[in-house]
Structure 1
């Protein structure tokens, strides 16, 4: 009972998966180029690099804003008790004079005054002002702005590097889906052949033309092929999931896959472009050169101007007497810093030399990568042509062996050997085709021949 229940269920699952592959293969036709364009717009890594580029754009705007006036509101209120005092002997100075005046005038119009004791700390005092400052000459601001601008170019190169790598990964994942789908098709055909052989052997045994062992061997062979078919289906599901991951789509989204025979195997004929890795290193060299100038500019004078518009006096008093303005020019020139500027400059100079050496090394590495990718593609194409020819021979050989077996002129084990050889050669042809497409994508990446969208 258990066997009769599980077999239909497993076949139902297989049928459902076959329908999924059929829907995937015959869904709305989407070309590989359209998939690549979709990935470049929606991949999370591209979005992240875009955010970093936008951050650098705002950093440049911030650096440019340092050339513009800056207005600050400064306000303070002071209330104090005690502290240092100064004695002012006003009474000792004026009272004798006042007494003499009172005697002369025979009046008391000039009263006596007390000596005054005044604290240094202000009491109930406020000072509020708007200070507008403007740099007239500051070399550090100039070089900092230039560095921010080069950092935008650096981040743009980083973004382009990621895009190129994404294009390659999308193509490799697409070809992996194609190869996995082809493997499923090959294994389905193998299972179909094994079932035909099983039915034929069952007829032979029923008619006493063969022994029961032939049927048992056919059943075991069918079980093994069905297991391999299930594994191929799982690999196809995993390949589709990874491909959708790169596209930032749901992992189970259907993928439009053409037959392998419809795909072009022509090598990449596009003109070789400039690698963004070199652009990135060249930009880094310029940044380091500007860093040298920035370090040296620390020894230059800084000239700026300011104007204060404010009011100061007793708290809550505001009139013509409390209002004031203050204009000034400031000069800041570091005279001695124990050679800190020189040491910082030397560090920046060493970074320039290191970046130059790295640029030379990367140029050689990229040339080697292009040459290696070209040779690998040539070898992969030769292997594919050989495997394609071998598959044709194996298919013809199997048909001949099957015909001899059904005529009773061949042992079943010899037919199985021909069948296994056919399956192996078909899978090898599919793998070698995938290898050609993989090597082509690697060569395209090495040559930077793919034209990235703006």
Structure 2
């Protein structure tokens, strides 16, 4: 007897274990089946975001500006390198100021005495010379190589260019995050318009079925003609709303494709919407690019003050000329030359210009510091506001979903009563309008919830992407 009871107990335990395992497997299968559309929707949206980041024209413009800043940095560094220039000139003149050189008056008496002493004509007479100041048939061609030995302005300018790259990079990232948000909002707007079309098409089908049913009642003298007229008017109104929803869907499609830089009528891929609530998220947010921009601007202002001070320091440079000068087309050892030198440039007095520039840069730095403090508070407020809006949107969506379920059940009950002849058509019509309105409101509240989620993601800068 005991053995029989023990066998029965083991059998019951085994059956309970199998039942638990079966329910767990069914739960896992249901969750997988339920999550597939959601994952597919996320995958499609991520693909569109990647496409927009790759093709958007506004983002390309920002990228060009960033590349321009990189080239500006290379330009600033080039001032540390030697500079080689080629310069040439040719001069030809007639007339102008002259100088008289009495060569003949000085030498001819001496030459005459020498000829008499030597009893010869070995020393001829010479004429006086009139030499013009302007050179005639003269050229000068040279290569000048110059190199700054000490110039603090070059170093500070290079630092400013580097910081301008950080500023432009932050500006690029700001545009990038805004584009991601706009793409998501555009996609959700398109989904909402398509959901509205689906709901209104279902409502039109219901209205057509009611019209058909009412015509049957009138033909059998079970209802008056007014019921058919009311049904026809209701159908016309729903069809008009359906056309408006289709127009809104086309507009949403065009705007979304505009963000992707695609043809405006390109078909948008979508899957069946699974209306899940997103995570509300916290109030903490990552380092916003707007703050990085202001921090870079503060550094640039500080460096601008250093640049103003550097302009008052001495500048030392060296140069060497390698060239040739002489009569035109004459080039030999006598015409070739080199010329080496050092230059020192030091501004001694400029009416306190440097001090004024330094104070201007200091005021700019103070302004930027206040902007940073204000921006931190604004961004924190924006994050908290976005989180609160998302929480409110989730609650509204949950209430709307519950209301739609009640309206669906109420309409089915009212329709059953109407077909049994226990309800007026106006009451059925009221239930139908309430159902359509609640379904549209649920669709709108769901898309508002998704919009608030995208806004919170933007406010917290939580969407990771590589530069």
TM-score range normalised by the length of the shorter chain = over 0.9
Q: Does the C-alpha gap of structure 1 residues 269 and 257 become closer, same or farther in structure 2, counting only changes over 3 Å?
A: farther
Query: Which aligned pairs between 1:72-91 and structure 2 lie closer than 5 A?
Result: 72-91=85-104
Q: SS where residue 356 of structure 2 aligns? A: helix
Query: Residues of 2 paired with 1:423 and 1:439: CA distance?
Result: 24
Residue 146 in structure 1 maps to residue 163 in structure 2: no
Which residue in the other structure is 1:430 paired with? 443
Alignment of 1:201-280 (within 5 A): 201-261=214-274, 265-268=278-281, 272-280=285-293
- The number of residues matched between the two structures is 428
Residue 315 (str. 1) matches residue 325 (str. 2):
no
- Rounded to whole Å, the distance in 1 between the matches of 2:227 and 2:442 is 30
Task: Report the counterpart of residue 50 of structure 1 in structure 2.
Answer: 63
- Measured against aligned partners, the alpha-carbon deviations of 1:338-366 in whole angstroms (never above 9, x if no partner) come to 11111111111110111111000000000
TM-fit CA distance, 1:213: 1.3
1:260 match: secondary structure: coil
Question: In the alignment, which residue of structure 2 is the partner of 1:31?
Answer: 44
Is the counterpart of residue 342 in structure 1 residue 352 in structure 2?
A: no
**Structure-2-length-normalised TM-score:** 0.90
Q: What residue ranges of structure 1 are gaps of 5+ in the alignment?
A: 1-26
Q: Deviations over 1:154-199 (max 9, x none)?
A: 0000000001111111110111011110000000000000000000
CA RMSD of aligned residues (A): 1.5
Unaligned runs of 5+ in 2: 1-39
- Aligned mate of 1:395, from 398, 408, 416: 408
> Residues 90 and 263 of structure 1: is their aligned pair in 2 closer, same or farther, counting only changes over 3 Å?
farther
Q: Which residue of 2 aligns with 1:365?
A: 378
Matches within 5 A, 1:107-256: 107-256=120-269
Judged with a 3 Å threshold, the aligned counterparts in structure 2 of structure 1 residues 29 and 279 are, in CA distance, closer, same or farther, namely: closer
Separation in structure 1 between the aligned mates of residue 285 and residue 464 of structure 2, nearest angstrom:
10
Deviates more, 1:28-37 or 1:73-82: 28-37
Does the CA contact (< 8 Å) of 1:271 and 1:449 recur in 2?
A: no
Between the aligned partners of 2:276 and 2:172, the Cα distance in structure 1 is 30
Deviation at 1:262, TM superposition (A): 5.5
> Does the 8 A contact of 1:71 with 1:132 survive in 2?
yes
Tell me if the contact between 2:139 and 2:328 (Cα under 8 Å) persists in the aligned partners.
yes
Separation in 2, partners of 1:143, 1:410: 86
TM-score (norm 1): 0.92
In 2, the alpha carbon distance for the partners of 1:29 and 1:362 equals: 32
Other structure's SS at 1:382 match: helix
CA–CA distance in structure 1, aligned partners of residues 276 and 397 of structure 2 = 13
Provide the C-alpha distance between the structure 2 equivalents of 1:146 and 1:29, rounded to a whole number of angstroms: 43
Look up the match of 2:342: 329
After the TM superposition, which segments of 4 or more aligned residues of structure 1 sit over 6 Å from their partners?
none
Structure 2 match to 1:285 = 298
Cα distance between partner residues in 2 of 1:443 and 1:283: 25
